[in-house]
């Protein structure tokens, strides 16, 4: 029985439970709804929820836990000798899963009988041939231990699934029956349902939080694995980034951090003045009509996917910069060799951040009370004097917060730097050179053939965690400043 | 209502500082001020009273062209300051506002130091040649604002850290610092407690010796205590204008009488 059938049966049970509970409640009140403690539908919901919720919770947990148990048991029965040189248990296990799936598929399509699939002493060659003929994907030759493991895998999975179905259905029936029996006109169905709904909402909220915690923890574990394989001193205080998949890599974050900060700095140099001036124009000078058009337009810019900005950098800004600063360019200086450069990435990232800075600053400038403007204008200050000497100083803390938020976005930005910054990790102050950032190195260490036991791959997690901590710190600090500023005028 | 007789009423007429003739103000379609004629004397406190929404603030804001900052607001008629039309094209509203200072309903010190708050006007108008002169202007203004003794030891502290009454006196000092000839005050005490109100009222009475003061107030007692002339506004019309004592004891118009006896408002 497929999962969808199970879900359908559960739903049907809930619907039946709803009507049964409702009519039982009505019957207990002799058909007069005024005698009931709650509206009749609440009795129905109570039965339906009692059937559905425990069964679904167990179902979800079961689906998560069963593969783990099966995997660890099966991987335990593979003998050490069965793992060839240059491979590992993880790789063998994925092969086992593939074979198990192949057997499953072959049985389902009729290319093989159930007995053949379970035959532990089957001839490997015939079996391989049958599977391949049945169109199943196998990457490696099947060996005897793999076959045995795969068969074990299949039998455990199918027993587990049957057990799950039985347990889930039994739970649903039990829940429904329990709630049905309790249904009586005195029963406080409304309060019980409200509590059930509250629990569901709470569950949704905690899933979001728990996922975040889970992400951080998994990064933390991988990072700890990395530090067992690689010295932390080199990571934090080394000076070279030179990953080498044959070993002996130098994996220091510092050159990457330098590239990240340098590009972010250029981005902020572009975004902060332009964004701030745009915000001042919008909030202080623009007429209502202009504002109504310009503000949404700016905010649309903020919704453009960063990969599009990356393309813009690659195809337009980079070549334009080279034709200006490159060999034989308009300026005739020959500073820029390739369109991949700190300047290209910084400029485009700055453009990306303009709407971010301007929309935050606009909100902050608007929060400066009108009485400040009146006070200044009433003393005979011009509009621009008022903006310069009263409004901007009053808004400064909030604007600083906005800039910090922008900085944390710049530091975590990936696509633009992947496409426009280059791949060379070095300390250099020359904005026309290619450099690389933490985010691009995470991408490159994790793409392609990866081996999650080597420091060259695991370093990505250490980089990611460091980045996470830096941006988290910046965000907290920025939000603190922005919030403090908001309170000032409330 | 014994306070009414407290301020001695100087009946001898003084020079006319501001003369308004046939002033109309429109907010878009709304006709907020209708045909107002009023003459404001020098070295006198003139009070504008009337129920809320009757246009007191609107008219006050005409006198220093603060209404220019509201897009939909149009002003018609003549307003003469020392005989010169302030709505003339040659008049720069920015210069005008230095001459006709304004104090607002809610104390609105800038988020700067006390010193910088007061020095703000003199700096933008270039009233001081050097730091020493600026210091002198700041001290003089704070003294006239009757707040010098309270803040002289903490001129570098932020103006927003003062109490409400101190903030309002700081704002008055700030307005005085640009050497105005007229001071407009829009309900300057409505956000203050009784003690702070008494201090500000005392200050207004002192200011009369140098400036022409126009004060909008909700409180008739206050108008009676501080002003020599009173104007009563109702639904955008100037109903009655005359000696304060006269208005409060012997009003001519029945609407004025209803208002001061508490029947409309
Ligand atoms: N900025 C504005 N835009 C539109 N209408 C306004 C504005 N300010 C005041 N008004 C209108 O003008 C009238 C007079 O207002 P106001 O001068 O503030 O009265 P008061 O100060 O006597 O309470 C009111 O009807 C008010 O709704
Ligand atoms: Mg008002």
Give domain limits for chain B: 16-108+180-260
A235 within some domain: no
Q: Which atom of ligand 1 is nearest to the CA of B236?
A: 14
Split at pLDDT 50, 70, 90, the class of B117 is: very high
Is there an atom of ligand 1 within 6 Å of B44 CB? no
Check if B170 has its Cβ closer than 6 Å to any atom of ligand 1: no
Domain end among A187, A217, A251? A187
Dist. CA A383–CA A475, nearest whole Å: 33
Mean pLDDT taken over chain B:
90
Is 80 exceeded by the pLDDT of residue A122? no
DSSP 8-class letter at A414: -
Ligand 1 near B102 CB (within 6 A): no
pLDDT exceeds 90 at position B103: yes
Task: Look at residue B31 in the predicted model and tell me its pLDDT.
Answer: 95
Domain co-membership, A182 together with A250: no
| Burial class of residue B16, CB neighbours in 10 A (0-12, 13-18, 19+) | middle
My answer on whether A469 and A348 are in the same domain is yes
Choose the final residue of a domain: A187, A205, A222: A187
- The answer to whether residues A40 and A152 belong to one domain is yes
CA B5 to chain A, closest CA, distance in angstroms equals 34
pLDDT at residue A113, rounded to an integer: 81
pLDDT, tens digit (0-9, with 9 covering 90-100), for B219-253: 888 999 999 999 999 999 999 999 999 999 999 99
> And the tokens for B247?
């208005």
Same domain, A172 and A291: no
Mutate to test the pocket of ligand 1, among B29, B32, B49, B52 (most ligand atoms within 8 A of CB): B32
Residues of B in contact with A379 (CB under 8 A): 97-98, 101-102, 120-121, 124, 174-175, 178
Residues A31 and A177 in one domain: yes
Going from the C-alpha of A400 to that of each of A148, A280, A285, A455, the distances in angstroms are 64, 15, 22, 38
- The CATH number, out of the four listed (1.10.3720.10, 3.40.50.2000, 3.40.50.300, 2.40.110.20), of the domain defined by the range B16-108+180-260: 3.40.50.300
Does residue A88 carry a pLDDT above 90?
no
pLDDT given at position A1: 62
Q: How confident is the model at residue B35 (pLDDT cuts 50, 70, 90)?
A: very high
Distance CA A442, CA A462 (A): 9
**B112: which chain A residues are within 8 Å (Cβ-Cβ)?**
393
Ligand 1 atom closest to Cα of residue B56: 22
Task: For residues A12 and A74, state if they share a domain.
Answer: yes
- Which of B109, B124, B171, B174 is the best residue to mutate to test the A interface, defined by the most A CB atoms within 10 Å of its own CB? B124
**CATH code at A433?**
1.10.3720.10
Q: B98–A393: do the CB atoms touch at under 8 Å?
A: no
Residue A423 pLDDT? 84
Residue A153: is it exposed, middle or buried by C-beta count within 10 angstroms (0-12/13-18/19+)? buried
Mean pLDDT, residues B176-181: 93
For residue A86, what pLDDT is reported?
Answer: 67
User: DSSP character for B86?
Assistant: T
Note down the domain range covering A27. Answer: 3-187
Ligand index nearest the alpha carbon of residue B30:
1
What's the CA gap between B47 and B56, in Å, rounded? Answer: 10
Percentage helix, strand, coil for chain B under 3-state DSSP, each rounded to 5:
40, 25, 35
**Residues whose CB is less than 8 angstroms from the CB of residue A388 and which lie 6 or more positions away in sequence, other chains included:** none
Give the span between the Cα atoms of B61 and A377, in whole angstroms.
12
Question: What pLDDT does A488 receive?
Answer: 62
DSSP tag of A352: H
Q: Which of A154, A172, A187 is the last residue of a domain?
A: A187
Same domain, A174 and A257: no
pLDDT at B137: 95
Same domain, A174 and A253: no
Tell me which chain A residues have a C-beta less than 8 angstroms from the C-beta of B110: 372, 375-376, 390, 393-394
Report yes or no on A226 lying in a domain.
no
Question: Is A421 within a domain?
Answer: yes
pLDDT (tens digit, 9 = 90+) per residue, A204-227?
Answer: 999 989 998 998 999 999 899 899
Mean local confidence (pLDDT), B54-61: 94
* Whether residue B5 has pLDDT greater than 50: no
Q: Which two tokens stand for residue A40?
A: 């009749």
pLDDT (tens digit per residue) in A380-420:
999 999 999 999 988 988 899 899 999 999 999 988 998 88
Say how many domains are in chain A: 2
Candidate from A140-144, A297-301, A464-468 with smallest mean pLDDT: A140-144
Same domain, A397 and A476: yes
The answer to which of A109-118, A153-162, A375-384, B131-140 has the lowest mean pLDDT is A109-118
Decide if A380 and B178 are in contact by the 8 Å CB cutoff. yes
Q: Is the CB–ligand 1 distance for residue B17 below 6 Å?
A: no
pLDDT of residue A489: 59
Residue B49 has phi, psi (to 5 degrees) of -120, 170
A245 lies in the same domain as A136: no
Which chain A residues have any C-beta within 8 angstroms of a chain B C-beta? 287, 369, 371-382, 385, 389-390, 393-394, 488
CA dist., res. A313 & res. A348, Å (int): 6
CB contact under 8 A, A381 and B102: no
Same domain, A404 and A255: yes
pLDDT for residue B2 is more than 60: no
Name the average pLDDT for chain A: 88
ipTM of the complex as predicted? 0.89
Instruction: Tell whether ligand 1 has an atom less than 6 A from the beta carbon of residue B54.
Output: yes
Distance of CA B139 to the CA centre of its chain: 22
Whether A359 is in a domain gets the answer: yes
Atom of ligand 1 nearest to the CA of B28: 4
Q: What confidence score (pLDDT) does residue A92 get?
A: 81
Identify the pLDDT of residue B1: 44
């Amino acid at each position: 029985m497929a999962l969808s059938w199970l879900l359908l049966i559960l739903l049907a049970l809930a619907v039946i439970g709803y009507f049964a509970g409702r009519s039982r409640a009505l019957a207990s009140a002799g058909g007069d709804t005024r005698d009931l403690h709650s509206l009749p539908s609440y009795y129905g919901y109570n039965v339906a929820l009692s059937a559905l919720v425990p069964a679904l919770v167990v179902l979800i947990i079961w689906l998560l836990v069963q593969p783990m148990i099966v995997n660890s048991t099966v991987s335990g029965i593979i003998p050490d000798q069965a793992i060839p040189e240059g491979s590992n248990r993880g790789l063998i296990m994925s092969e086992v899963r593939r074979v198990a799936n192949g057997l499953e598929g072959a049985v389902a399509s009729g290319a093989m009988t159930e007995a053949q699939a379970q035959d532990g002493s089957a001839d490997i060659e015939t079996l391989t041939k049958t599977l391949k003929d049945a169109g199943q994907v196998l990457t490696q030759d099947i060996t005897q231990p793999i076959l045995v493991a795969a068969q074990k895998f299949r039998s455990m999975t199918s027993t587990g699934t049957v057990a799950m179905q039985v347990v889930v259905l039994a739970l649903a029936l039990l829940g429904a029956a329990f709630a049905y029996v309790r249904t009586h006109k005195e029963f406080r169905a409304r309060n019980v349902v409200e509590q059930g709904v509250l629990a569901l909402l709470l569950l949704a909220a905690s899933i979001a939080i728990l996922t975040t915690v889970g992400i951080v923890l998994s990064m933390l574990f991988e990072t700890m694995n990395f530090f067992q394989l690689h010295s932390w001193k080199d990571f934090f205080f080394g000076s070279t980034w030179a990953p080498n998949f044959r070993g002996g890599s130098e994996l220091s974050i510092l050159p990457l951090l330098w590239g990240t900060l340098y590009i972010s700095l250029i981005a902020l140099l572009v975004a902060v003045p332009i964004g701030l001036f745009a915000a001042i124009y919008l909030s202080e000078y623009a007429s209502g009509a202009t504002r109504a058009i310009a503000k949404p337009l700016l905010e649309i810019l903020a919704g453009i996917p960063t990969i599009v900005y990356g393309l813009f950098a690659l195809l337009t800004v980079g070549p334009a910069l080279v034709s200006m600063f490159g060999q034989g360019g308009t300026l005739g200086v020959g500073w820029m060799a390739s369109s991949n450069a700190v300047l290209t990435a910084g400029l485009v990232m700055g453009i990306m951040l303009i709407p971010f800075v301007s929309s935050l600053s606009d909100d902050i400038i608007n929060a400066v009370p009108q009485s400040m403007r009146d006070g200044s204008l009433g003393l005979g200050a011009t509009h621009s004097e008022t903006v310069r000497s009263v409004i901007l100083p009053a808004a400064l803390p909030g604007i600083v917060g906005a800039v910090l938020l922008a900085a944390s976005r710049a530091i975590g930005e990936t696509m633009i730097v992947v496409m426009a910054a280059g791949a060379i990790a070095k300390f250099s102050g020359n904005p026309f050179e290619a450099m690389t950032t933490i985010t691009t190195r995470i991408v490159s260490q994790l793409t392609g053939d990866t081996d999650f036991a080597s420091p060259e791959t695991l370093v990505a997690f250490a980089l990611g965690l460091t980045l996470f901590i830096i941006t988290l710190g910046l965000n907290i600090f920025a939000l603190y400043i922005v919030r403090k500023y908001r309170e000032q005028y409330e | 209502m014994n306070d009414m007789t407290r301020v001695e009423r100087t009946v001898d007429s003084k020079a006319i500082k501001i003369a308004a003739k046939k002033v109309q103000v429109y907010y878009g379609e709304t006709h907020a001020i209708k045909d107002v004629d009023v003459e404001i004397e020098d070295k006198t406190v003139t009070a504008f009273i009337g129920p809320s929404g009757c246009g007191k603030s609107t008219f006050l804001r005409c006198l220093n062209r603060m209404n220019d900052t509201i897009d939909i607001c149009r002003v018609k008629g003549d307003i003469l300051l020392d005989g010169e039309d302030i709505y003339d094209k040659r008049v720069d509203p920015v210069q005008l506002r230095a001459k006709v200072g304004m104090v607002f309903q809610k104390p609105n010190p800038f988020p700067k130091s006390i010193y910088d708050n007061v020095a703000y006007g003199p700096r933008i108008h270039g009233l001081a040649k050097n730091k020493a002169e600026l210091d002198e202007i700041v001290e003089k203004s704070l003294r006239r604002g009757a707040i010098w003794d309270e803040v002289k030891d903490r001129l570098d502290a932020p103006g927003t850290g003062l109490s409400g009454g101190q903030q309002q006196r700081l704002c008055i000092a700030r307005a005085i610092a640009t050497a105005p000839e007229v001071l407009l005050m829009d309900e300057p005490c409505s956000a203050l407690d009784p003690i702070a109100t008494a201090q500000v009222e005392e200050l207004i009475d002192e200011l009369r010796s140098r400036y022409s003061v126009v004060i909008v107030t909700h409180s008739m007692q206050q108008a009676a205590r501080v002003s020599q002339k009173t104007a009563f506004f109702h639904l955008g019309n100037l109903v009655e204008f005359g000696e304060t004592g006269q208005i409060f004891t012997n009003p001519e118009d029945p609407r004025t009488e209803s208002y001061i006896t508490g029947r409309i408002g």
